[in-house]
C-alpha cells in the first residue's frame, strides 16, 4: 500500500509487498506464551530476515496444533485477532514515516575498498531485520540517482499507542535495536526523496549540551493570557493585576487595580504576578517532559522518548504544578510580587478535591432557607464570598447576615487518616475521619533573618491585610478557628518546623503534638529563599512538616533556586566597570551566556546542582511525572535530566528545559533592563601601597611556605603542597589572604623554629641546592630576622594589636601608653588600637571632672600591667588555651525620660590641651583608607563594609569606628537572629546608623539594603558569584542612588596576583576553581613561586599609612548628663573643690518616625509582641564586680586569645555603648557612659593564632531595638 503523497518505492530484500501478515500474527500470538527472554527471537539475523525460517515454522506448527484442539470460540477469537492485526499492518497510515537510513550496495563486479567497508558497516542491517520481523517498523527503498550504489531506506514506525494488543512491546533487546535505528536516521525531506550526498557528515545524535546557567537565563519570559482562564474570579484578579492607569477611561482609577496595594508595580512585576495567578488557578497541561515533539520528513508530528525508545502518535499530557518557582533576579521585588498575588486573590478558597466531593451535598431534615442553601453552595464550590462582601462593604453596602451564613457554611470535607493505637501490642493502624475546613489564608515561611523584611514590605506596600507572625517557639499556634481570620500567617522557618509534631514546650504530655495547621486546607504556601527547603539524601524537617498539611498552591521564591541557577546580571555584577563599558550591557550579557553555555570541566558540580533542583521539583512541588508513585509510571530524574549522547558526552536535555519552563516565573535580563531605570553600578579595584607592617606580615607567610618547599625538597608528605596536606594548605592560604588587612597570628617561637630549619638545611645542603633556592632562602632568613627583632612587631604579636598613631599625645603620659615601652616614644606615638580606645574612654568618662586627664598615667600603667598578665609568657603561649573575652563598658542605670528631656551633655572644654591630640595614621593601609572614606561619605551616604570571617578585620574596623565616633552596627553570624534583624532595620530605616559591618557569609540571599550606596570589600573575593551576591544587597530596584563598589587590594602582593588571575580565567576555569583557588593549577603555581615583598626601610624609618586629614582623638565623644546635674563654677572658689560623683548615664534616644493612620496600616499580630516594646532581650548572666552593664549599645565579643591555664576564666559579657557620646556632627543623640575608678578593669583584647585555628569568633552586637512602642507592627 502506498503512503499518501509519496512516490512508489522499491521492495527491500526481495520481500513481497503482499507478505502474508497472517503468519506473522500467528507468530506473535504464539509468542504470547512463555518465551526464553527473546534469545531465540534474536538468535541470528539471517534466520529472522527469512519469513519462513525454522523457528517460524516451529511456532506456526505449534500454534496450528494448539488451534486444532481448541474450542470453536477460541478459533473465532484468533481469527478476529488475525484480521485486526492485518488491518493495522496493511494500512501504512497507521505507521509514522520518521526518516531514512542511507545504505550502500556496490555493484556485483565492484571490488570493495576500505571506505566501502565503512559505509556498508554503518547501516544497521541486523537491527532493521529484527524490527521488521516483529512488526515494529516497515521499510521501503528509494534509489539515489546521483550517487550509484546508494539508496535511502525509508523507515515507517508503528507507534506504541497503536496495536499494543497485537504487537509485543516488552522486549528490551528490540528497544535497544529501535533506539539505534532512530539515532542513525536522517529526517530531512531531501533524503526522504533520495536526494542526499552520502559523503557529507551527518549530525546525528548531537552531543551538544546546555548548562543550567544557560537554560535558566534563556527561559521564555512570563506572558499571562487572561482569555485562557475559565475561572471568572481568577480572571478578575489577573485583570486587576495587569491594570494600568488609563486602561478603562470610563472608570475611576481609585476603583481599579488591586485592592489594598499601595505601590505602583513595574510592567514586569505585573506580568509575573498575573502569570502566577494564572498558573495556580488553572494549571496548564503540558507535554510529558520525557517526550520530544518531532516531525517526520513528510511533516507528520510524533512524540519520541529518546531514553526509553518509545514513540507515540498522540501527545501525552500532564497537569503542571499548581504553583512553581518565582525566580526574578535579586533586588527586583519578589516580595512585592508575592504580596500582589496575595492581595489579588484575597478571600479566594482552595477547591475541594474531586475525590472528596461525593456526599457533600447536604441532606436536610427540613427545607432550609434560601440564604442557608446559597451559603452552603458557595462554600461547597469555593466561591470567594469574603472578598465579594468586603468590596460591597467598602462601597457602603453591608450584609452581616449573609456573611454570618457563609461563615456557618464554610466549605469543608472529611479525609481518613491512619493512626497507631496507643499502647497496643501490635500497634495496628486505626483509621479516623478528620474534618478539613477551607481556609483562604496564605502560609509564608521565611528564614529567621527575613521575618522583619517581610513585615517592612507588608507595611510599606499594603493596607488592610490581616497578618499573624509566628517566630517564637515558646508561643502556641492559635486554634484553627482563630487562624481562619488571617490573610497571611508569617512563619520563621524554625518555628514552622516545630509544627511537624512530637513533644514541644507547649505540649509536654505523652500525646504527640497535633498542629492546628493540619485541620485546615490552606489556599497557598510561599517559601522564601526556598532553595534551602530540601536537603540532599532525604526530606528536611520543613518538607516533612509541609507533607502533613493540605495546601493547594505552592511557591518557592528564590533568585537562585540552585547553585547553577542565577541570572546573568549577577555574573556581570562582579566585573570591574569602565567608562566605555557602561552602555554595552546587551553585548556583555550575550558574551557571558555563550561562554557558560557548556558545562566543560565542571560536570561534577553541574550534576550536583541538578540533583539539588530535584529536591524542589519532587519533594516540595510534587511535579508529575517526576513525583509519580511507582505504580503511576514515575519518570527517572537522572536518566532524563542528565542524558548522554552516543559519544558518551552529556547532551542537551529537553526534559530539563521543559521542566524548568513549566515551573519558573522569571523575566529575561534584557526585558527587565528595558522597563526599569536601575541606578548605575560602578565597580572598581583600589590598589594600595602596603605599609612596613603589612609587608612584614605577608612576608612571614611566604617565608613559612618557602622554608617548607625547600627543606622538604618539594616531595613526600612533608611538602605543604602534597595532596594529603590540602586541608592545612587551604587554611594557610586563607589566613594569608586575611593578612592583607592585618595579621598578628605569628608567634616569635614559631618563626625562630622556621629560621632554625632554614639555616640547618642551608648548611647541610648548600652544595646541591639550586641557585634560586639559595637566593630565596637567604632572603627569607634576612626578612624573618628583621621581623622578630622589630620591637613593635613583637608587641603587636604579644597583645594581638593593630597599631594606631597619635599626634600630640600628652607628654607626661606617653611612656605609660605606648605599646612599645622598650623604645623611646617618638612622634607620632604608636599605640595598640585597643589601648587607644581605653585612653579615649578614660577621658570621656571623666568629662565631668575639672581635669578629664587626671589619672590617665596610672590608668595606662595599670592597663599595661594587665596586658602583660594576659599576654602569657613566651614559654607558655599556646593556642590550646582559648577564652572568649568581651570588651566591658557600660553603666548601672539610666534615668527616666523626664531626666533626659533637656538633652544635656558634657564635652571636652575648648581650652583643654587634650584637643590637640589627633589620630594621624594606622599601621594598616586598608584600615586607613576605610577611615578616610567613612569620614568623607558618612554624612551624605550610608556605607556597607564587607569583611571575611576568619580574621580579626571586623574587630579592628569596629574599634576604629568607635574611635572616630561613627555610628555603626555589625551583621554577623555570631549574633542572635533577632539582633541581626533589629540592626538591619535600624540601618535601613533611620539616619542614626551610617555604617554596616557585614560578615561576607551573611550577604548571600534575601537581604535588602537599598539605603547603602557605598560598598567596600576589605579583601578581594575569589569567587565572583559571592562578590556579586554581596554587591546586589545594595544594587536593587529600590535603590535611589548610583552604587559605588570598591575592592581594596595591596599592590604587588599575592592577593593582587590572585585577583588578576581571576580576571584572566575563563568561565570554565572559574567554575572549576570557584570554591578554592588551589583548584586552579595556574594559581597554585603562582602561590608556590611567590616571592618576598622588598622591605627597604627599617623600623625607625618606616612610614605608616597616614590619614588624608588628621582627626580629633579625645574630643570626638561627649558624656550625656541628667537634667538635675548642676555644674560647679570653679572660678568662684579659691579652694580645691569636692570631688563630684559622676552623673548617671542616659538612655539613647532613637528618632521616632511619624506614625501613619491606622486605616493605612496592615493589621499585624505577632507572637513576640511582649518583647517588641523595647530593645532585644538580654539574657542575664552572673557578672564579676569589675564589670558594669550599659543600658544600650553594641555588644562585641573579641576574638579568641591565649591565656595560661591558671587564668582560663570566661570573662563576663558586658555591653559596649555605641559611643560615650555623639560626634560633633550629631550631638543631639545621647548614649550611656559612666566610670567608677574603684572598679576600673582591663577590657579583653583580641589575639590571633596560627593558620590552623579559627581566628575570628563571636563578634556580636546588641543595640537599639527596631521594635519600639511606636512601631505599627506591634499595635
- Quick check: 439 pLDDT over 90? yes
- Quick check: 882 pLDDT over 70? no
Contacts of 359 (CB under 8 A, 6+ apart): none
Measured CA to CA, the distance from residue 1050 to residue 926 in angstroms comes to 8
In sign, the C-alpha dihedral spanning 1066, 1068, 1074, 1078 is: negative
Going by DSSP bridges, is the β-strand pair 1043-1050/681-688 parallel, antiparallel, or unpaired? Answer: parallel
Predicted local distance difference test score (pLDDT) of residue 431? 57
Least confident stretch, 724-728, 979-983, 1164-1168, 1184-1188: 1184-1188
Give Cα 25 to chain centroid, integer Å: 59
Predicted local distance difference test score (pLDDT) of residue 208? 62
What are the pLDDT digits (tens) for 635-645?
Answer: 888 888 887 66
Question: How far from 610 is each of 334, 340, 605, 747, CA to CA, in Å?
Answer: 23, 31, 9, 46
Least confident stretch, 283-297, 600-614, 670-684: 600-614
- Quick check: 932 pLDDT over 90? yes
Q: Cβ–Cβ contacts within 10 Å for residue 482, how many? A: 12
Comparison of pLDDT for 655 and 337, the residue scoring more: 337
- Quick check: 664 pLDDT over 50? yes
- Tell me the CB-side half-sphere exposure of residue 874, using CA atoms within 13 A: 10
Least confident stretch, 87-91, 187-191, 452-456, 586-590: 586-590
Predicted local distance difference test score (pLDDT) of residue 220? 93
Contacts of 1133 (CB under 8 A, 6+ apart): none
Going by DSSP bridges, is the β-strand pair 1163-1166/466-470 parallel, antiparallel, or unpaired? Answer: parallel
Predicted local distance difference test score (pLDDT) of residue 127? 92
- As a three-state string, the secondary structure of 1005-1055 is CCCCCCCEEEEEECCCCCCHHHHHHHHCCCCCCCCCCCEEEEEEEECCCHH
Predicted local distance difference test score (pLDDT) of residue 1029? 84
Confirm or reject CATH 1.10.760.10 for domain 205-219+320-352+430-505+512-582+590-666, answering yes or no.
no
- Quick check: 899 pLDDT over 70? no
- Quick check: 80 pLDDT over 70? yes
Predicted local distance difference test score (pLDDT) of residue 803? 92
Q: Cα 586–587–592 angle (5° rounding)?
A: 100
Predicted local distance difference test score (pLDDT) of residue 1126? 58
Measured CA to CA, the distance from residue 657 to residue 826 in angstroms comes to 69
Confidence of residue 750 (pLDDT cuts 50, 70, 90): confident
Calculate the average pLDDT of the chain: 75
Q: pLDDT above 70 covers what percent of the chain?
A: 71
Q: Supply 146's cell numbers.
A: 546521483
Q: How large is the average pLDDT for residues 364-376? A: 82
Least confident stretch, 822-826, 1005-1009, 1143-1147: 1143-1147
- Quick check: 615 pLDDT over 70? yes
Decide if 593 contacts 513 (C-beta within 8 A): no
- Quick check: 505 pLDDT over 90? no
Q: How large is the average pLDDT for residues 699-723? A: 87
Going by DSSP bridges, is the β-strand pair 942-947/1119-1120 parallel, antiparallel, or unpaired? Answer: unpaired
What are the pLDDT digits (tens) for 146-156?
Answer: 888 888 999 99
Predicted local distance difference test score (pLDDT) of residue 424? 44
Question: How far from 563 is each of 380, 566, 611, CA to CA, in Å?
Answer: 43, 7, 11
Question: How far from 797 is each of 770, 877, 880, 925, 992, CA to CA, in Å?
Answer: 34, 11, 17, 18, 36
Closest among 269, 277, 265, 267 to 225, alpha carbons compared: 277
Confidence of residue 35 (pLDDT cuts 50, 70, 90): very low
- Quick check: 831 pLDDT over 80? yes
Q: Supply 101's cell numbers.
A: 537510513
Q: Supply 1127's cell numbers.
A: 555644674
Least confident stretch, 323-327, 572-576, 687-691: 572-576
Helices and strands per DSSP (H, E), number in the chain: 40, 31
- Quick check: 160 pLDDT over 70? yes
Confidence of residue 254 (pLDDT cuts 50, 70, 90): low
345 cis-preceded (ω within 30 degrees of 0):
no
Predicted local distance difference test score (pLDDT) of residue 1080? 83
Closest among 840, 878, 861, 908 to 1217, alpha carbons compared: 840
Q: Which residues of 1058-1093 are buried (b: 16+ CB within 10 A; e: fewer)?
A: bbebbeebebbbbbbbbebbeebeebbebbeebebb
Least confident stretch, 737-751, 843-857, 1172-1186: 1172-1186
**Residue 726 φ then ψ, to 5°:** -60, -45
Confidence of residue 1066 (pLDDT cuts 50, 70, 90): confident
Question: How far from 1250 is each of 77, 492, 747, 880, 1074, CA to CA, in Å?
Answer: 87, 38, 8, 11, 25
Comparison of pLDDT for 170 and 337, the residue scoring more: 337
- Quick check: 235 pLDDT over 90? yes
- Quick check: 180 pLDDT over 70? yes
Measured CA to CA, the distance from residue 516 to residue 550 in angstroms comes to 12
- Quick check: 364 pLDDT over 70? yes
Q: Is 815 exposed, middle or buried (0-12, 13-18, 19+ CB in 10 A)?
A: middle
Decide if 843 contacts 908 (C-beta within 8 A): yes
Measured CA to CA, the distance from residue 649 to residue 1114 in angstroms comes to 69
Q: How large is the average pLDDT for residues 333-352? A: 94
pTM of the model: 0.77
Decide if 36 contacts 59 (C-beta within 8 A): no
Least confident stretch, 345-359, 364-378, 598-612, 1037-1051: 598-612
Comparison of pLDDT for 542 and 429, the residue scoring more: 542
Q: Which CATH architecture has domain 795-1127+1140-1149+1174-1239?
A: 3-Layer(aba) Sandwich (3.40)
Q: How large is the average pLDDT for residues 1196-1223? A: 35
What are the pLDDT digits (tens) for 960-999?
Answer: 999 999 999 999 888 888 888 888 889 988 898 999 999 9
Predicted local distance difference test score (pLDDT) of residue 20? 44
Q: How large is the average pLDDT for residues 947-953? A: 81
**Residue 1130 φ then ψ, to 5°:** -70, -20
Measured CA to CA, the distance from residue 116 to residue 789 in angstroms comes to 83
Give Cα 589 to chain centroid, integer Å: 21
- Quick check: 246 pLDDT over 80? no
- Tell me the CB-side half-sphere exposure of residue 998, using CA atoms within 13 A: 30
**Residue 607 φ then ψ, to 5°:** -65, -35
Comparison of pLDDT for 872 and 566, the residue scoring more: 566
Question: Which span out of 672-681, 1049-1058, 1099-1108, 1204-1213 was modeled with the highest average pLDDT?
Answer: 1049-1058
Decide if 493 contacts 503 (C-beta within 8 A): no
Comparison of pLDDT for 1231 and 562, the residue scoring more: 562
Q: Cβ–Cβ contacts within 10 Å for residue 448, how many? A: 17
- Quick check: 570 pLDDT over 80? no
Domain with CATH 3.40.50.300 in the chain: 205-219+320-352+430-505+512-582+590-666, 795-1127+1140-1149+1174-1239
Decide if 245 contacts 687 (C-beta within 8 A): no
Decide if 706 contacts 776 (C-beta within 8 A): yes
Predicted local distance difference test score (pLDDT) of residue 64? 47
Question: How far from 148 is each of 196, 206, 671, CA to CA, in Å?
Answer: 12, 29, 54
What are the pLDDT digits (tens) for 756-799?
Answer: 999 998 888 888 888 888 998 999 999 898 888 888 888 888 88
Kindly provide the residue ranges of all beta strands, DSSP E only, lying in 1113-1226, ordered along the sequence: 1119-1120, 1163-1166, 1201-1202
Comparison of pLDDT for 1144 and 468, the residue scoring more: 468
Predicted local distance difference test score (pLDDT) of residue 512? 73
Decide if 1267 contacts 1274 (C-beta within 8 A): yes
Decide if 1063 contacts 1027 (C-beta within 8 A): no
Amino acid at each position: 500500500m502506498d503512503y499518501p503523497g509519496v512516490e512508489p518505492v522499491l521492495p527491500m530484500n526481495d520481500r513481497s509487498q503482499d507478505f502474508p501478515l497472517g503468519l506473522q500474527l500467528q507468530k506473535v500470538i504464539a509468542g504470547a506464551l512463555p518465551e526464553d527472554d527473546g534469545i531465540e527471537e534474536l538468535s541470528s539475523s539471517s534466520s529472522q530476515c527469512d519469513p519462513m525460517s525454522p523457528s517460524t515454522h516451529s511456532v506456526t506448527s505449534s500454534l496450528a496444533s494448539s488451534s486444532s484442539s481448541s474450542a470453536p470460540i477460541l478459533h473465532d477469537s484468533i481469527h478476529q485477532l488475525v484480521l485486526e492485526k492485518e488491518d493495522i499492518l496493511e494500512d501504512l497510515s497507521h505507521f509514522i514515516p520518521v526518516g531514512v537510513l542511507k545504505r550502500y550496495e556496490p555493484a556485483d563486479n565492484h571490488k570493495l575498498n576500505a571506505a566501502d567497508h565503512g559505509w556498508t558497516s554503518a547501516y544497521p542491517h541486523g537491527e532493521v531485520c529484527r524490527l521488521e520481523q516483529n512488526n515494529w517498523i516497515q521499510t521501503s527503498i528509494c534509489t539515489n540517482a546521483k550517487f550509484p550504489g546508494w539508496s535511502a531506506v525509508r523507515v515507517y514506525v508503528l507507534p506504541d499507542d497503536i496495536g499494543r494488543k497485537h504487537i509485543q512491546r516488552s522486549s528490551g533487546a528490540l528497544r535497544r535495536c529501535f533506539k539505534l535505528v532512530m539515532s542513525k536516521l536522517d529526517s530531512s525531506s531531501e533524503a526522504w526523496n533520495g536526494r542526499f550526498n552520502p559523503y557529507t557528515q551527518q549530525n546525528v545524535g548531537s552531543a551538544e549540551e546546555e548548562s543550567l546557567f544557560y537554560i535558566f537565563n534563556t527561559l521564555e519570559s512570563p506572558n499571562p493570557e487572561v482569555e485562557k482562564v475559565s475561572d471568572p474570579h481568577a480572571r478578575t484578579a489577573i485583570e486587576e493585576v495587569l491594570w494600568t492607569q488609563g486602561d478603562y477611561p470610563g472608570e475611576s482609577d481609585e476603583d481599579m487595580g488591586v485592592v489594598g496595594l499601595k505601590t505602583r508595580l513595574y510592567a514586569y512585576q505585573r506580568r509575573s504576578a498575573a502569570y502566577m495567578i494564572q498558573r495556580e488557578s488553572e494549571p496548564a497541561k503540558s507535554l510529558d517532559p520525557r517526550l520530544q515533539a518531532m516531525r517526520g520528513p513528510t511533516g507528520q508530528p510524533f512524540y519520541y522518548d529518546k531514553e526509553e525508545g518509545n514513540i507515540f502518535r498522540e501527545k501525552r499530557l500532564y497537569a503542571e504544578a499548581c504553583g512553581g518557582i518565582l525566580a526574578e533576579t535579586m533586588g527586583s521585588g519578589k516580595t512585592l510580587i508575592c504580596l500582589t498575588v496575595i492581595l489579588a486573590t484575597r478571600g479566594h478558597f482552595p477547591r475541594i478535591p474531586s475525590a472528596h466531593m461525593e456526599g457533600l451535598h447536604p441532606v436536610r431534615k427540613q427545607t432550609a432557607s434560601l440564604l442557608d442553601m446559597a451559603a452552603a453552595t458557595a462554600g461547597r464550590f469555593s466561591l470567594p464570598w469574603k472578598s465579594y462582601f468586603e468590596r460591597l462593604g467598602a462601597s457602603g453596602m453591608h450584609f452581616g447576615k449573609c456573611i454570618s451564613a457563609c461563615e456557618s457554611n464554610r466549605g469543608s470535607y472529611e479525609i481518613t487518616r491512619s493512626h497507631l493505637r496507643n499502647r497496643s501490642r501490635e500497634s495496628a493502624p486505626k483509621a479516623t475521619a478528620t474534618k478539613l475546613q477551607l481556609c483562604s489564608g496564605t502560609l509564608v515561611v521565611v528564614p529567621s533573618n527575613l521575618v522583619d523584611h517581610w513585615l517592612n514590605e507588608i507595611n510599606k506596600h499594603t493596607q488592610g491585610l490581616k497578618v499573624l507572625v509566628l517566630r517564637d517557639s515558646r508561643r502556641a499556634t492559635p486554634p484553627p478557628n482563630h487562624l481562619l481570620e488571617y490573610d497571611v500567617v508569617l512563619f520563621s522557618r524554625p518555628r514552622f518546623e516545630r509544627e511537624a509534631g512530637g513533644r514541644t514546650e507547649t505540649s509536654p504530655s505523652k500525646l504527640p503534638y497535633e498542629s492546628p495547621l493540619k485541620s485546615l486546607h490552606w489556599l497557598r504556601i510561599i517559601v522564601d529563599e526556598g532553595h534551602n527547603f530540601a536537603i540532599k539524601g532525604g526530606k528536611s524537617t520543613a518538607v516533612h512538616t509541609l507533607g502533613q498539611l493540605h495546601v493547594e498552591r505552592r511557591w518557592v521564591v528564590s533568585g537562585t533556586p540552585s547553585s547553577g541557577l542565577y541570572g546573568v546580571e549577577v555574573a556581570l555584577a562582579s566585573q570591574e566597570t569602565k567608562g566605555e563599558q557602561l552602555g554595552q550591557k546587551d553585548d556583555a550579557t550575550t558574551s557571558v551566556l555563550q561562554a557558560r553555555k557548556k558545562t566543560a570541566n565542571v560536570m561534577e558540580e553541574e550534576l550536583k546542582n541538578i540533583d539539588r533542583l530535584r529536591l524542589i521539583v519532587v519533594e516540595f512541588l510534587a511535579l508529575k511525572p517526576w513525583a509519580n508513585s511507582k505504580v503511576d509510571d514515575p519518570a527517572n530524574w537522572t536518566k532524563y535530566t542528565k542524558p548522554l549522547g552516543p559519544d558518551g558526552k552529556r547532551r542537551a536535555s529537553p526534559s530539563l528545559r521543559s521542566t524548568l519552563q513549566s515551573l519558573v516565573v522569571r523575566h529575561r535580563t534584557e526585558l527587565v533592563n528595558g522597563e526599569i531605570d536601575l541606578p548605575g553600578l560602578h565597580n572598581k579595584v583600589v590598589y594600595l601601597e602596603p605599609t612596613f607592617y603589612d609587608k612584614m606580615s605577608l612576608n612571614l607567610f611566604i617565608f613559612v611556605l618557602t622554608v617548607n618547599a625547600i627543606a622538604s625538597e618539594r616531595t613526600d608528605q612533608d611538602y605543604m603542597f602534597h595532596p594529603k596536606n590540602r586541608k592545612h594548605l587551604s587554611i594557610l592560604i586563607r589566613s594569608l589572604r586575611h593578612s592583607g588587612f592585618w595579621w598578628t597570628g605569628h608567634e616569635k617561637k614559631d618563626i625562630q623554629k622556621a629560621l632554625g630549619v632554614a639555616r640547618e638545611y642551608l648548611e647541610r645542603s648548600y652544595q646541591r641546592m639550586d641557585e634560586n633556592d639559595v637566593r630565596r632562602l637567604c632572603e627569607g632568613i634576612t626578612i624573618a630576622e628583621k621581623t622578630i627583632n622589630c620591637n613593635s612587631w613583637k608587641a603587636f604579636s604579644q597583645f594581638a594589636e593593630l597599631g594606631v598613631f597619635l599626634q600630640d599625645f600628652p607628654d607626661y603620659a606617653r611612656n605609660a601608653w605606648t605599646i612599645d615601652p622598650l623604645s623611646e616614644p617618638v612622634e607620632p606615638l604608636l599605640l595598640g588600637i585597643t589601648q587607644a580606645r581605653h585612653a579615649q574612654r578614660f577621658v570621656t568618662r571623666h568629662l565631668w571632672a575639672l581635669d578629664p586627664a587626671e589619672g590617665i598615667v596610672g590608668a595606662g600603667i595599670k592597663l599595661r600591667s594587665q596586658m602583660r598578665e594576659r599576654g602569657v609568657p613566651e614559654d607558655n603561649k599556646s593556642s590550646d588555651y582559648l577564652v572568649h573575652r568581651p570588651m566591658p563598658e557600660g553603666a548601672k542605670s539610666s534615668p527616666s525620660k523626664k531626666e533626659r528631656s533637656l538633652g544635656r551633655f558634657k564635652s571636652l572644654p575648648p581650652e583643654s590641651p587634650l584637643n590637640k591630640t589627633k589620630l594621624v595614621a594606622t599601621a594598616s593601609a586598608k584600615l586607613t583608607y576605610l577611615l578616610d572614606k567613612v569620614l568623607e561619605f558618612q554624612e551624605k551616604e550610608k556605607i556597607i563594609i564587607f569583611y571575611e570571617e576568619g580574621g580579626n578585620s571586623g574587630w579592628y574596623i569596629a574599634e576604629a569606628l568607635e574611635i572616630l565616633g561613627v555610628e555603626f552596627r555589625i551583621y554577623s553570624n555570631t549574633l542572635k537572629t533577632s539582633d541581626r534583624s533589629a540592626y538591619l532595620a535600624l540601618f535601613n530605616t533611620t539616619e542614626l546608623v551610617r555604617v554596616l559591618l557585614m560578615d561576607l557569609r551573611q550577604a548571600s540571599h534575601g537581604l535588602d539594603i537599598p539605603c547603602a550606596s557605598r560598598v567596600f570589600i576589605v579583601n578581594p573575593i575569589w569567587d565572583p558569584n559571592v562578590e556579586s551576591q554581596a554587591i546586589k544587597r545594595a544594587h536593587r530596584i529600590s535603590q535611589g542612588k548610583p552604587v559605588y563598589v570598591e575592592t581594596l587590594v595591596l599592590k604587588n602582593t599575592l592577593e593582587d596576583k590572585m585577583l588578576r588571575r581571576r580576571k584572566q580565567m575563563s568561565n570554565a576555569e572559574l567554575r572549576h576553581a570557584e570554591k578554592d583557588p588551589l583548584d586552579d593549577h595556574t594559581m597554585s603555581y603562582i602561590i608556590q613561586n611567590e616571592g618576598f615583598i622588598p622591605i627597604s626601610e627599617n623600623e625607625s624609618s618606616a612610614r605608616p599609612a597616614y590619614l588624608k586629614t588628621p582627626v580629633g582623638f579625645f574630643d570626638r565623644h561627649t558624656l550625656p548628663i541628667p537634667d538635675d546635674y548642676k555644674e560647679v563654677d570653679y572660678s568662684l572658689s579659691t579652694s580645691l573643690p569636692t570631688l563630684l560623683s559622676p552623673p548617671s548615664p542616659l538612655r539613647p534616644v532613637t528618632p521616632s518616625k511619624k506614625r501613619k493612620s491606622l486605616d493605612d496600616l496592615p493589621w499585624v499580630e505577632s507572637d513576640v509582641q511582649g518583647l517588641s516594646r523595647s530593645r532585644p532581650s538580654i539574657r542575664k548572666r552572673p557578672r564579676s564586680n569589675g564589670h558594669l552593664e550599659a543600658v544600650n549599645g553594641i555588644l562585641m565579643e573579641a576574638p579568641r586569645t591565649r591565656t595560661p591555664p591558671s587564668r582560663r576564666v570566661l570573662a563576663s559579657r558586658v555591653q559596649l555603648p555605641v559611643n560615650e557620646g555623639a560626634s560633633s556632627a550629631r550631638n543631639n543623640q545621647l548614649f550611656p557612659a559612666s566610670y567608677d575608678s574603684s572598679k576600673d578593669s582591663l577590657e579583653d583584647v583580641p589575639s590571633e593564632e596560627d593558620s590552623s585555628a579559627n581566628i575570628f569568633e563571636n563578634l556580636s552586637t546588641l543595640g537599639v531595638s527596631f521594635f519600639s512602642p511606636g512601631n505599627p507592627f506591634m499595635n
